[in-house]
Structure 1
Amino acid sequence: MDQDAPRARERRLARIKLSDQVAEDIRRRIARDRLRPGDRLPHERALMDHYGCSKGTIREALKALEVEGLVRMVSGPNGGPEIQDASIDVMTQQLRQYLHFQKIDFGQVYELRTSLEVILARNVIGKLTEDHLRRLEENVRLCEQANSARDRALVRKAETEFHDILCEASDNVILVLMCRFLNSMLRDLVSYRSDSMREHELFGSHNIESHKDLLKAFRAGDAEAAAEVMRNHMCCAESFMRRLDASFNSDLLSRS
């Protein structure tokens, strides 16, 4: 038997598609040239000449970058590939796809969420604008109205949006990504097996009072008070989730 045969097969298996090589080189170019959202890449013909490959290969490479959310294709006579800002929605959907094949429970989620939301409460002190505070107050009023009307779906949705507004004020992009991801999971993927309206109303009332206390701490610029309220808020929220027999939907792959 030819001893070089296994190595030859390994080389064939390790061979990377030309379109993938082109896509990787474009990624390097974007990083090297420090291109920003709105900047344009060379048009299709220029890329074909530069890489010495076919139109189909270039289109396949650009399509891969478009699926990743790194570029978008602008139509028209002056169109072409344009750098676009990374979308949190795209990132969170990719994280959901990973978690779809894992076993997750609320203990894991709140072990992380409690820590992150306390950090977020401290982080936004002094960064919340009057517009942020006004929108937070409007959110609390919406929650009160929805809770009184027993609109469970609207209450649960609005509660997480309160925390999304806090994310807008944060300057820690990694913290924002993780908090927004957990908020989206709780908003979009949670179902409640308990139909106890009394428990849902109590949960809504707890969240409303906690959010009001947070607003007081934010307006006072009191980081310690905000952190303490948020810590208690997260612990109580987890307890209510368990009492309402909450569970994650089995389908984390579908877009919301």
Structure 2
Amino acid sequence: MSQSTRRTRPEMIGEAIKEYIARHGLGPGDRLPQESHLVEALDASKGTIREALRGLAAQGLIQTRTGPGGGAFICEVSDDRAMELLSNYFFFRPPTIHDIYEVRKQLQPVMVASLEGQLDESAFERLEAMLTHYDHPPASQEEEQAQRLKELEFHLVLVDYCPNPLLALNCRFMIRLLMSLTTCRRIYAQPYPELRQRGYHYQRRLLEALRRNAMDEAREIMAEHMQAAQALMEAREATLDKAFFRAGAGDDETPSREYLALRDYSAHPVMDAVDTTAPPTG
């Protein structure tokens, strides 16, 4: 075993504690044995046990409480915590928009197909409520950004009903990446009415198919949605990159029309008209 993969004594003790939790069927809220018991059972020093518990706490698996009735208690790792840990993995090598949508194109249609029989009326009410946030042109650039995030949250609501926890985790992570990726934030910070229009159009069709329990149709709609979203996002990424580099050129070079249009919109946003009955193009 290489030096980089060799586990420390506290890490080994941490794994032993996790095995103890699994073997005894313990769950969130249950209390671990007292420190003295762990020291004796695991043949480890107090310092090693405490370091192991700190490691498990950092992973979000346990929580320590002080005072009367205190100790180490098992926690369920929250979605936010799981997303944070996964994001740290990609901190120095963030995926591109292309990377994310190549995965989403594979996973999202499968996730939608898994929803058969999972959506009750309260689920449809949640999804309908999300659509109301972006079924109209925005009154400002700030609202347009908020609408884009709500459009992504629509997908998060869908994932909440996915019965496959591994599929749900991967879909949720892709969506969270789109919400936080620097490149995506640049795109959301600029006017892009077509992105909202297309998103609303596909999601309305998807919701209608799901209500009819037409799962094959729903899967096809989601596949089309992901393909169209990828094309729009990559096209806007290329436009913004082009505008950025031209704007940064010397004084003897005129900024691109794209850059000027985006700059002028930021100063004087123009509302767009929406035809939600028109089929998507591209």
Q: TM-score, normalised by structure 1?
A: 0.83
Say if 1:241 and 1:46 are closer, same or farther in 2 by CA, change over 3 A. Answer: same
1:42 to 33, 40, 48: 33
Once the two structures are superposed, residues 32-52 of structure 1 have per-residue CA deviations (whole angstroms, 9 ceiling, x without a partner) of 222222221112233234345
1:191 aligns with 2:185: yes
Q: Which residue of 2 aligns with 1:106?
A: 97
Greater shift after overlay, 154-163 or 34-43? 34-43
Q: Which residue of 2 aligns with 1:72?
A: 63
Residues in 1 aligned to 2:99 and 2:44: alpha-carbon distance in whole angstroms: 48
Higher relative contact order (CA 8 A, sep 6+): 1
Residues in 2 aligned to 1:89 and 1:194: alpha-carbon distance in whole angstroms: 22
Task: Answer yes or no: is the 8 Å Cα contact 2:134–2:147 preserved in 1.
Answer: yes
1:125 aligns with 2:119: no
Once the two structures are superposed, residues 148-178 of structure 1 have per-residue CA deviations (whole angstroms, 9 ceiling, x without a partner) of 5542220121011101111111100011000
* Alignment map for 1:155-170 (pairs within 5 Å): 155-170=147-162
Once the two structures are superposed, residues 49-70 of structure 1 have per-residue CA deviations (whole angstroms, 9 ceiling, x without a partner) of 4345443322111001111111
Q: Which residue of 2 aligns with 1:33?
A: 24
**Aligned-residue identity in percent:** 31
2:204 to 203, 207, 212: 212
Residues in 2 aligned to 1:112 and 1:221: alpha-carbon distance in whole angstroms: 25
Residues in 2 aligned to 1:185 and 1:14: alpha-carbon distance in whole angstroms: 28
Once the two structures are superposed, residues 46-102 of structure 1 have per-residue CA deviations (whole angstroms, 9 ceiling, x without a partner) of 323434544332211100111111111133311211111122322222222222233
1:138 aligns with 2:129: yes
Task: Answer yes or no: is the 8 Å Cα contact 1:40–1:83 preserved in 2.
Answer: yes
Task: Answer yes or no: is the 8 Å Cα contact 2:148–2:188 preserved in 1.
Answer: no
Which of the pair is proportionally richer in helix? 1
* Alignment map for 1:14-33 (pairs within 5 Å): 17-33=8-24
Count of paired positions: 236
Residues in 1 aligned to 2:89 and 2:185: alpha-carbon distance in whole angstroms: 20
Greater shift after overlay, 221-230 or 27-36? 27-36
* Partner-residue secondary structure (3-state), 1:73: strand
Residues in 2 aligned to 1:13 and 1:193: alpha-carbon distance in whole angstroms: 39
Greater shift after overlay, 236-245 or 68-77? 68-77
Q: Which residue of 2 aligns with 1:242?
A: 234
Tell me the CA shift for residue 145 of structure 1: 4.5
Say if 1:20 and 1:84 are closer, same or farther in 2 by CA, change over 3 A. Answer: same
1:84 aligns with 2:78: no
* Partner-residue secondary structure (3-state), 1:81: strand
Say if 1:147 and 1:231 are closer, same or farther in 2 by CA, change over 3 A. Answer: farther
Supply the AA of the counterpart residue of 1:164. Answer: L
Residues in 1 aligned to 2:195 and 2:215: alpha-carbon distance in whole angstroms: 25
Supply the AA of the counterpart residue of 1:187. Answer: M
Supply the AA of the counterpart residue of 2:209. Answer: A
User: Any stretches of 5+ residues in structure 1 without a counterpart?
Assistant: 1-9, 248-256
